[in-house]
Amino acid sequence: MVGIVIVSHSKQLALGVQELAAQMVQGQVSLAVAAGIDDPVNPLGTDAIQVYEAIASVFSDDGVLILMDLGSALMSAEMALEFLPPEQRDKVYLCAAPLVEGTIAAAVAAAAAKNIQEIITEAQGALVAKATQLNFISIPLSEVSNQSISSAKVSTQEIRILVRNRLGLHARPAAQFVATASNFQSQIKVQNLTRNTEAIRGDSINQVATLGVRQGHELLITATGIDAQAALAALQALIINNFGEDDSIIQLPTPRTEVSDLNQGELKGIATSGGIAIAPLVYFQSASIPVMEYHIENVEVEWQRLQSAIQVAKQEIQTLLSHASLQIGDAEAAIFDAHLLFLADPVMLDAARQHIVEDRLNAEVAWQTVVEEVANSYRKLEDSYLQERVDDVVDVGQRVLRILLGNLPTDLQLSEPSIIVGTDLSPSDTAKLDPNKVMGICMTAGSATSHSAIIARTLGIPAVLGVDSQVLSLDSGTLMALDGESGKVWIAPPVDILTTLEAKREAWQIAQAEARLKAHQPATTSDGQHIQVFANIGNIADAKAAINYGAEGVGLLRTEFLYLEKTSPPTEEEQLEVYQAIAEILDNRPLIIRTLDVGGDKQLPYLSSLSAETNPFLGVRGIRLCLEHPQLLITQLKAILRASVKNHNIKIMWPMIATLTELRAAKEILLQVQSELRQASIAFDENMEVGMMIETPASVAIADQLAPEVDFFSIGTNDLSQYVMAGDRTNPKVATLADALQPAVLRMIKQTVQAGHAANIWVGLCGEVAAETLVAPILIGLGLDELSVNPQAIAPLKQAISQLTITEAQAIASVALQQDSATSVRELVYPIG
């Protein structure tokens, strides 16, 4: 019997199609799925190896039919055929039929024991009945067998719309536009009517960005396909809502005019990020990547090399994105969402593949050629702001080249506080800077509107760009001073300049300290109720930032950074060193360490049994994985317990608990580890609190049974929301469902708080919703004792809490629980207009 393979960018879509088809044929036909990529934050994509494995799983001499959605799905399917032996390849057919209707029609025909050609005909005619009913075509059904579906007149619709956000389709809005367009089967075309451009592909980040769309420009967006109307509605909503931006999303420094002449040793540049820096200079220069061109014979091997490098680059950027979200906030970290889309741009990928296949160029040269072509398209734009996006393209391009050549990342290592000097900083390099070591930035290139400059301002690092190149000839260690407000730089400044600058720096620091004073005070409502405000962190640097921002403790230490991107599990000593360092920084403030929370969506290469799962969010993750691999948990618990001495206020928190059995199994392992340490005379905190995360509807339902077993609950609303609403938060089509302000989720929070308080334990919340200061009245009104947020959100959250009374908060929460949607809930607390 003929087997069927479903290839899609979306695993959820493919599984849904597979389920529909399976129900139609009651398991009579072999159906396999090759969909999505192993990337939890950006899972859309296709993989030729997956397609190859799917073909092998359903192969029969009767043939295999492959149905695909769009873009690279076809490319991956074609590549998969190359891996097959010739005798099998001749029995595999790629079908141009629509994915959903075509798969169902093909499955029914296969179950009826029709041959492969008859099945193809049925699949390609699957859309005709629907199209005829909707008056899109008027082809008699009797003619279907003689026509390809491509001859039907598929619906084409269009909208015209003005772009109103202040900087137009800069990188982040362009990334949102492309991500939305890519989620539909219809072909999306976009034209900038104001600039009279040609229509370009809506799923290409570079083509969208180089349209030069600014505030007030009019777009013509067309969609051709079976979901054209839905695609246009989604894009229209995105634009009407200004891509979620407000006018403060990108704050540019106010230009200052200097009328005084420069003295000896003074240089003038572009004022980019305010503040005074005085420190020795250290040179920073991204290592050049020499690329050699050579002729290749096996084009598929070379193409696979490039695809593998791109996948590794995506993983690196995902890690950087997670780190940047904590360091600079989600809004600015979204810069790296655009970097991910560069790597998925079908136009770039098609061009690179063409250079490899047709020109027989090696992967490095093919990729570098395409990156340079795209960079030049940005350089040719009249818009200076958009011209600067070339830095992002080059940044991504260099990352892939480095991986192809096996080079290590070039991280800046400083032994003492310094001012870094160089030609330019990439956004990736800037996001990894440690503000405790990098006192200032002085570059000969760049501008105040570059993404690197935006990140520097967010990190609070004084910066002057566009300085004369003579700074590149100075000796390392030379004392330098810079004023990020005036744009001046001093080389070996004399005593009088140093005195003036130090006085200005001291005044600035005093002002900053006064501004942070309230952030370092307890968060207390106006009627005297103390709400603990903790920080979510991911490493040692984050811990320092959390204290600087006024955190009363750490409500969530994500320990995954110790395990990911390694070839073997971290040792007990490696973990102990990190936990102790963070505990020392916190100085007896609470430190809640979440045990390892990875699974099918976050691969650990050294766990061979951890394979990709059909739905990783419902698979072996969190405590489930640790119970399957107890040695991982035992090693981590030993390190945590050993770090708890010296009056360190450390607590343990279990992730993804869904049953009492899981909780008790984890506690049993902890008891065993404690017993082993006692027998070895190794000290630890015998009174350490142990809590658990509430992330599943199951844990809420039995919260009254779980509460007596632990010392605290911490509600993880990011996961709880998606599980309650059955909406994958990584899938843009349904991500809006996974909103912690959905009344169903708010009721779950209330139920958890009531169960916790009935058992005399405290209840906190560590989801992103806590950072929305206007939502604070609802969360406080629900009875939460603690809120844990990204460090940057601590000061505004504390201020919001100080303006509340418990009575007011409870009244607002009570009304919120009765609303019919998350939108209605937000309207209660967000100002209109």
Catalytically active residues are 451, 766
CA angle 774, 542, 487 (to 5 degrees): 85
The sheet that has 270-273: what strands, in order across it? 266-268, 488-491, 479-483, 276-283, 418-422, 438-443, 463-465, 270-273
Is beta strand 266-268 parallel, antiparallel or unpaired with respect to 488-491? antiparallel
Handedness of CA 664, 669, 674, 679 (dihedral sign): positive
Structure tokens at 196: 């009279």
Exposed, middle or buried, 15 (CB in 10 Å: 0-12/13-18/19+)? middle
Task: Name the phi and psi angles at 534, rounded to 5.
Answer: -110, 175
Give the whole-angstrom CA distance, residue 216 versus residue 194: 9
CA-based nearest residue to 10, from 127, 182, 262: 182
Residue 23 CB coordination number (10 Å):
11
Give the whole-angstrom CA distance, residue 57 versus residue 4: 10
Give the whole-angstrom CA distance, residue 572 versus residue 677: 13
Alpha-carbon dihedral of residues 658, 663, 669, 675, nearest 10 degrees? Answer: 160
Give the whole-angstrom CA distance, residue 651 versus residue 671: 15
Q: Are 518 and 798 in contact (CB under 8 A)?
A: yes
CA-based nearest residue to 117, from 153, 79, 65, 72: 65
Cα-to-chain-centroid distance, residue 370: 25
* Complete DSSP assignment for 9-47: S-HHHHHHHHHHHHHHHTT-S-EEEEE--S-SSS-----
Give the whole-angstrom CA distance, residue 168 versus residue 63: 50
CA angle 621, 627, 629 (to 5 degrees): 90
Which phi-psi region, left, alpha or beta, contains residue 265 (left: φ > 0; alpha: ψ -120 to 50)?
left
Please list the alpha-helical segments (H only) found in 606-730: 623-628, 630-643, 660-679, 697-701, 703-706, 717-725
* Complete DSSP assignment for 335-372: HHHHHHHHHH-HHHHHHHHHHHHHH-B-HHHHHHHHHH
Handedness of CA 765, 43, 314, 460 (dihedral sign): negative
